[in-house]
Chain A
Amino acid sequence: MDFQVVVLAGGYSKNLAPLISNEVPKPLLPVANRPVLSYVLELLEASNLKDLIVVVEGSDAALRVGGWISSAYVDRLHVEVAAVPEDVGTAGALRAVAHHLTANDVLIVSGDLVSDVPPGAVAATHRRNGAAVTALLCNTPVSGPAETGSSGGKDKAKKPARHNIVGLDPTKQFLLHLAAGAEIHKDIRVQKSILQAVGQMEIRADLMDAHMYAFKRSILQEVLDQKDMFHSIRHDVLPYLVRTQLRSQVSTNGGQNGQDVWNGTLSSQNNLVWLSQHREIAPSAFQENVLAPNGSDSAQRTHKCCAYIANKSKYCVRLNSIQAFSDINRDVIGDASHLSGYSFSPQNNIVHPSAELGSKTTVGPHCMLAECSTLGDKCSVKRSVIGRHCRIGSNVKIVNSVVMNHVTVEDGCLIQGSIICSNVQLQERVILKDCQIGPGYVVTSGSEHKSESLAKK
Chain B
Amino acid sequence: MARKEGGRASSDADDLACSPLQAVLLADSFATNFRPITLERPKVLLPLVNVPMIEYSLAWLESVGVEEVFVFCCAHSGKVKDFLDSSQWTKKQPSSAFSVTTIESRDAISAGDALRVIYGHGVVRGDFILLSGDTVSNMSLKQALHEHKERRKKDPLAVMTMVINHSKPSSITHQTRLGNDEIVMAIDPETKQLLYYEDKVDQLRQFLSLDKALMADNPSLCLHNDKQDCYIDICSPEVLSLFTDNFDYQHLRRHFVKGLLVDDIMGYKIFTHEVRSCYAARVDNFRSYDTISKDIMQRWTYPLVPDVRYFGNFSGIKLDRQGTYKAPDVIQSRSAQIGPFSLVGSGTTIGDNSHIFNSIVGQGCTIGRNVCIQGSYIWDNVTIEDDCKINFALVCDGVHLNAGVVLEPGVILSFKVDVGKQFVVPAYSKVSLLPQPSMQDSDDELEYAEGNSAVNDNPSITSMVYNGEANLMPSSLDAEVLNTSKASIVGAYIWSGGEPGLEDEWKHSIAPIPIEKLNEFFLDHSFDFDESNQDVVCLPPSGELQPDSGSVGFDDDYRDSADFEKEVEATFLRAFTGVDQDNVIIEINSLRLSYNMSHADCAGALFYSIMKSAYDSPHSSQRELLSNTAKEIDKWKNLLKNYLRSKDEEIEVIMKLEEMCLESALDFSPLFTTILNRLYEKDIISEDAILTWAEEKEGADESDKIFVKQAEQFIRGSSCKVSAAKSCDLE
Contact = CB atoms under 8 A, between A and B. Distances in A.
Contacts of A185: 212, 547
B533 A276 contact: no
A187 interface: yes
Please classify the interface of chain A as helix (H, G, I), strand (E, B), loop, or mixed, using the class held by over half of its residues.
mixed
Nearest to B226: A199
B337 to A, nearest CB: 23
B223 A167 contact: yes
Interface stretch (A201-209, A314-322, A394-402): A201-209
A420 B30 CA distance: 74
A188 B526 contact: no
Contacts of A278: 170, 173, 177
Contact of A189 (B208, B214, B530): B208
A309 to B, nearest CB: 12
B543 A195 contact: no
B403 to A, nearest CB: 31
B205 A192 contact: yes
A196 B169 contact: yes
A191 B525 contact: no
Contact of B173 (A274, A281, A297): A281
A203 B210 CA distance: 11
Given A280-B177, A289-B522, A199 B168 contact: yes
Contacts of A201: 222-225
A391 B265 CA distance: 61
Contacts of A190: 207-210, 223
B50 to A, nearest CB: 21
A182 B546 contact: yes
Interface stretch (A1-9, A53-61, A228-236, A440-448): A228-236
A281 B208 contact: no
A276 B172 contact: yes
A200 B223 contact: yes
Contact of B222 (A200, A280, A290): A200
B223 A203 contact: yes
A417 B205 CA distance: 51
A235 B170 contact: no
Contacts, number: 164
A181 B543 CA distance: 6
Interface residues of B, number: 55
Nearest to A243: B536
Nearest to B218: A205
B208 A192 contact: yes
Interface in A261-282: 274, 276-282
A286 interface: yes
Interface in B491-546: 512-513, 515, 518-519, 522, 525-526, 528-530, 532-533, 536, 541-543, 545-546
B168 A277 contact: yes
A239 interface: yes
A200 B208 CA distance: 14
Contact of B212 (A186, A240, A281, A290): A186
A187 B226 contact: no
Contacts of A240: 536, 541
Contacts of B541: 229-231, 235-236, 239-240
Contact of A282 (B186, B512, B533, B545): B512
Nearest to B219: A206
Contacts of B522: 286, 289-290
Interface in A201-241: 201-206, 229-232, 235-236, 239-240
B174 interface: yes
Contacts of A276: 168, 170-172
A247 B512 CA distance: 29
B512 A193 contact: no
Contacts of B475: none
A203 B224 contact: no
Interface string B271-285: 000000000000000
Contacts of B169: 196
A201 B184 CA distance: 11
Contacts of B208: 189-192, 195
A183 B545 contact: yes
A206 B182 contact: no
Interface string B394-410: 00000000000000000
A229 B538 CA distance: 13
Contacts of B246: none
A188 B211 CA distance: 6
Contacts of B479: none
B536 to A, nearest CB: 6
A205 B210 CA distance: 13
A203 B545 contact: no
B515 to A, nearest CB: 5
Interface in A283-305: 285-286, 289-290, 297, 299
A238 to B, nearest CB: 10
Nearest to B184: A195
B452 interface: no
B226 A289 contact: no
A188 B215 contact: yes
Contact of B542 (A179, A187, A188, A282): A179
Given A190-B208, A195-B208, A278-B170, A200 B224 contact: yes
A306 B343 CA distance: 50
A244 interface: yes
Nearest to A166: B220
B221 interface: yes
A199 B225 contact: yes
A375 B216 CA distance: 48
A69 interface: no
B201 interface: yes
B189 interface: yes
Interface string A154-191: 00000000100101000000000001111101111111
Nearest to B203: A192
Given A187-B211, A278-B177, A282-B513, A192 B206 contact: yes
A278 B512 CA distance: 11
B291 interface: yes
A197 interface: yes
A281 B178 CA distance: 11
Contacts of A203: 186, 210, 215, 220-223
A141 to B, nearest CB: 14
B212 A299 contact: no
By CB atoms of chain B within 10 A, which of A162, A195, A197, A249 has the most?
A: A195
Interface string B49-69: 000000000000000000000
B706 to A, nearest CB: 47
A299 B220 CA distance: 31
A200 B219 contact: no
Contact of B209 (A189, A200, A279): A189
A244 B206 CA distance: 12
A354 to B, nearest CB: 47
A189 B206 CA distance: 9
Contact of A187 (B170, B212, B530): B212
Interface in B223-238: 223-226
B170 A204 contact: no
A331 B528 CA distance: 50
A190 B201 CA distance: 13
Contact of B512 (A188, A191, A280): A280
A239 B171 contact: no
Contacts of B224: 199-201
Contacts of B220: 202-206
Given A192-B207, A247-B532, 17 more contacts: A165-B215, A179-B542, A181-B545, A187-B211, A188-B212, A190-B208, A190-B209, A190-B210, A200-B224, A203-B223, A205-B219, A206-B220, A239-B542, A240-B536, A244-B533, A277-B177, A290-B522
12 contacts: A182-B545, A187-B209, A192-B205, A199-B168, A200-B226, A231-B543, A236-B542, A243-B536, A247-B529, A281-B170, A281-B518, A285-B519
Nearest 10 A/B pairs, CB to CB: A199-B226, A235-B543, A206-B219, A204-B220, A188-B210, A299-B529, A189-B207, A299-B526, A278-B170, A201-B223
